[in-house]
Amino acid sequence: GSGGFRKRKHDNFPHGQRREEKENVNPSSALMTSFKSFQLELDTRHDKYERLVKLSRDITIESKRTIFLLHRFASAPNGEEILNESEVKLDAVRRKIKQVAQELIGEDMYQFHRAISPGLQEYVEAVSFQYFIKTRSLISVEEINKQLIFTAEDREETINTTSDCNDKQPRTWSLKVTPVDYLLGVADLTGELMRLCISSVGNGDIDTPFELSQFLRQIYDGFTFIGNTGPYEVSKKLYTLKQSLAKVENACYTLKVRGSEIPKHMLADVFSTKTELIDQEEGL
């Protein structure tokens, strides 16, 4: 009838006939051998992808912990201890990146880029934040990549590496941060610099906000040169970068105009209140 179910085309064949056809397949035929090799290759690639996702997650976590540590630099009595401890943490992150580089031996990195990109972006943010605290300048992508060249002298044991013999593996490993990952990491850096500005003012440092304002303005000018010609992720980060710059400039304005009126221990509260108002006006 009109309300009945339609039969699928393969329902016209008896189940017994389909079972006989499956039993008649020769498992040693060239076609089946090819499909088994394809299955093995896809399973191996999928397992490698999952290992890289896990490594990228570990890199992200350790990089975030380094950033949290570096935020204590403004209030720490001995900043050198904070920098030394952050260097130890970054070395641990680089050992994770070395494992990524070993996983990508003989592979096209861009086939696995989606798996490792979040971790690389967070590492760029952490290492550039440390570099700015040390030098008050921006680290280049070439300098970052120089730190990601590993030699066989590093005896750290890696896990989940390839099954090749050690004597067949190269004596050096390297991993290059792509320009897009570098730009995204620098864009995230601006948010940390904005927080550094607020914490510096709370500690009575009124010079750092003006340095940060000039530095962030230069970064913003560089991103505007890219505009809509760059990748979508970069142009999307431009809005957040502009917000961070506006908050730092607002802090500088408050210091310049009302700095003599407001006690230093109350400046951080004034900035945090103004920041909340800006976020509410922009619908955040």
pLDDT (tens digit, 9 = 90+) per residue, 223-274?
888 877 767 888 788 888 888 898 888 888 877 776 656 665 565 565 555 5
Q: Check: CB of residue 125 under 8 Å from CB of residue 183.
A: no
Question: Do residue 119 and residue 190 come from a single domain?
Answer: no
Cα–Cα distance for residue pair 186/139, rounded to 1 Å: 9
Question: Do residue 142 and residue 242 come from a single domain?
Answer: no
Q: Check: CB of residue 72 under 8 Å from CB of residue 42.
A: no
Q: Quote the number of domains for the chain.
A: 2
On whether 192 is known to bind a ligand per the annotation, the reply is yes
Give the range with max mean pLDDT: 25-34, 104-113, 229-238, 255-264. 104-113
Cα–Cα distance for residue pair 259/237, rounded to 1 Å: 31
CA distances from 185 to 122, 137, 167 (A): 6, 15, 36
159 within some domain? no
Please determine, for residue 88, whether its predicted confidence score (pLDDT) is greater than 60: yes
Question: Do residue 59 and residue 129 come from a single domain?
Answer: yes
- pLDDT given at position 281: 43
Question: Do residue 192 and residue 270 come from a single domain?
Answer: yes
11 within some domain? no
227 within some domain? yes
Residue with tokens 């992720």: 233
Question: Do residue 138 and residue 199 come from a single domain?
Answer: no
Q: How confident is the model at residue 172 (pLDDT cuts 50, 70, 90)?
A: confident
Cα–Cα distance for residue pair 44/37, rounded to 1 Å: 11
- Secondary structure (H, E, C), 2-13: CCCCCCCHHHHC
- pLDDT given at position 16: 54
- pLDDT given at position 121: 95
pLDDT (tens digit, 9 = 90+) per residue, 119-163?
999 999 999 999 999 999 999 999 999 999 988 755 444 444 444
Look up the CATH number of the domain holding residue 194.
1.20.58.200
Residues 6+ apart with CB under 8 A from 30: none
Of 177, 208, 231, which closes a domain?
177
- pLDDT given at position 127: 97
Q: How confident is the model at residue 283 (pLDDT cuts 50, 70, 90)?
A: very low
Question: Do residue 144 and residue 208 come from a single domain?
Answer: no
163 within some domain? no
Look up the CATH number of the domain holding residue 63.
1.20.58.190
Q: Check: CB of residue 201 under 8 Å from CB of residue 267.
A: yes
Q: Which residue has the higher pLDDT, 31 or 263?
A: 31
55, two tokens: 């490594």
With pLDDT > 70 as the criterion, what percentage of the chain qualifies? 75
Please determine, for residue 215, whether its predicted confidence score (pLDDT) is greater than 60: yes
Residue with tokens 């620098």: 186
* pTM across the whole model: 0.77
Question: Do residue 111 and residue 201 come from a single domain?
Answer: no
List alpha helices for 30-146, DSSP H.
Answer: 30-70, 79-103, 113-135, 141-146
284 within some domain? no
Q: How confident is the model at residue 282 (pLDDT cuts 50, 70, 90)?
A: very low
Q: Which residue has the higher pLDDT, 256 or 191?
A: 191
Q: Check: CB of residue 223 under 8 Å from CB of residue 234.
A: yes
Range of the domain at 75: 40-154+171-177
Cα–Cα distance for residue pair 89/98, rounded to 1 Å: 14
21 within some domain? no
- pLDDT given at position 36: 84
Q: Check: CB of residue 215 under 8 Å from CB of residue 194.
A: no
Query: Average pLDDT, whole number, for the chain?
Result: 80
